């Protein structure tokens, strides 16, 4: 997968105002911690997450995606009439039908000849949407496109806390699959991609590679329960090992596809899961962990918005030097891995 004509025009994220610390989460779990004799502080110690954010009660993900899409289009300078495809790529969505992208399209006031649809691919949804847009640009089908998504963790967090406090059958062993749900945060992110002929940034999306390791699709499953709210069960330990192994298998193929070595890029942006994942991943790929730009400690795991948000924040903070290259190393439950390469323009 190589691109000659695709540019990343802008990456943006929008964040909720409400902050919930890990200490506050554990304070609400004091009864189950006491019953199972779990040490306070274990969640932050295990994950490195000190806080996460929540959208205001009643927020619909489509409403927030409209705001994020508008901000992305404004910053990109792209004429909205040139947007030929809009993809909504988050795990969260407003309805089973119609596509959440439809409401975002209307709210962003895009043209009627713009293709509009949702993509679902766990934590890789926004990156997957970006690849589909890039393919359309490369084929000459569109000049520009936008992928956006919003993750809302409030229901999952509240449901998990309630279940942990009320289910008296839980043991120190059976409670483990629930802890990953306490790391989830809320965020919204968007990427605008254009043909190089109309790009102002000239940040080139070079291409990438994918790998599906679906024998492990059962390790992380989320369900929407009609009465109790969202729920998720995660075999975190096995998912950690198998997810990193999937990335380790893909990484050499990714380097070969782009003609890169480990020294070809100065920055990496990864899915934000936990500090153990970051160390295991960088060690497995033979990369210096200092090259990884992290938002995990203050945003938590924001699903499909995690890697794009880290990229947006990193670009805004100037961590990507002009003329440098960066690797986007995505991993999502399923298990799928998607890796992309970017070259930042010499002149910004």
Active site residue 220: no
Buried-state track 59-85, b at ≥16 Cβ within 10 A, e below 16:
ebbbbbbbbbbbbbbebbebebebbbb
Residues in the chain: 348
Cβ–Cβ under 8 Å, residues 55 and 302: no
Active site residue 97: yes
| Residue 304: other Cβ atoms inside 10 A | 32
* Residue tagged active-site, from 92, 123, 270, 320: 123
* Residue tagged active-site, from 17, 97, 112, 317: 97
Residue 36, judged by CB atoms within 10 A of its CB (0-12, 13-18, 19+), counts as: middle
Structure tokens at 325: 């290259």
Residue 286, judged by CB atoms within 10 A of its CB (0-12, 13-18, 19+), counts as: exposed
Closest by CA to 330, choosing from 339, 320, 322, 321, is: 339
Active site residues: 97, 123
């Amino acid at each position: 997968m190589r691109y000659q004509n695709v540019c990343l025009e802008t990456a943006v994220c929008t964040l909720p105002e409400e902050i919930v610390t890990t200490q506050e989460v554990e304070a609400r779990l004091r009864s189950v911690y006491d019953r199972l004799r779990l040490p306070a502080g274990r969640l932050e110690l295990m994950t490195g997450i000190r806080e996460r954010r929540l959208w205001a009660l009643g927020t619909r993900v489509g409403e927030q995606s409209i705001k994020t899409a508008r901000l992305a289009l404004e910053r990109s300078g792209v004429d909205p009439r040139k947007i030929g495809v809009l993809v909504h790529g988050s795990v969260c969505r407003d309805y089973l039908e119609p596509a959440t992208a439809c409401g975002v399209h209307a709210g962003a006031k895009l043209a009627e000849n713009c293709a509009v649809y949702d993509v679902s691919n766990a934590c890789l949804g926004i990156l997957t949407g970006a690849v589909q847009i890039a393919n359309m640009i490369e084929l000459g089908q569109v000049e520009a496109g936008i992928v956006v998504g919003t993750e809302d963790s409030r229901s999952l967090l509240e449901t998990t806390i309630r279940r942990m406090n009320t289910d008296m059958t839980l043991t120190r062993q059976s409670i483990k699959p629930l802890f990953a749900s306490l790391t989830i945060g809320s965020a919204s992110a968007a990427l605008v991609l254009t043909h190089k002929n109309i790009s102002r940034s000239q940040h080139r999306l070079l291409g990438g590679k994918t790998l599906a390791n679906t024998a492990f699709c059962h390790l992380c499953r989320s369900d929407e329960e009609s009465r109790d709210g969202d729920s998720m069960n995660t075999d975190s330990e096995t998912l950690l090992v198998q997810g990193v192994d999937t990335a380790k298998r893909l990484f050499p193929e990714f380097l070969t596809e782009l003609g890169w070595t480990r020294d070809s890029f100065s920055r990496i942006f990864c899915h934000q899961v936990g500090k153990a994942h970051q160390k295991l991943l960088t060690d497995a790929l033979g990369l210096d962990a200092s090259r990884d730009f992290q938002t995990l400690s203050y945003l938590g795991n924001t699903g499909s918005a995690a890697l794009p948000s880290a990229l947006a924040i990193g670009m805004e903070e100037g961590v990507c030097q002009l003329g440098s290259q960066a690797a986007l190393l995505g991993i999502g439950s399923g298990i799928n891995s998607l890796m992309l390469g970017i070259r930042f323009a010499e002149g910004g």
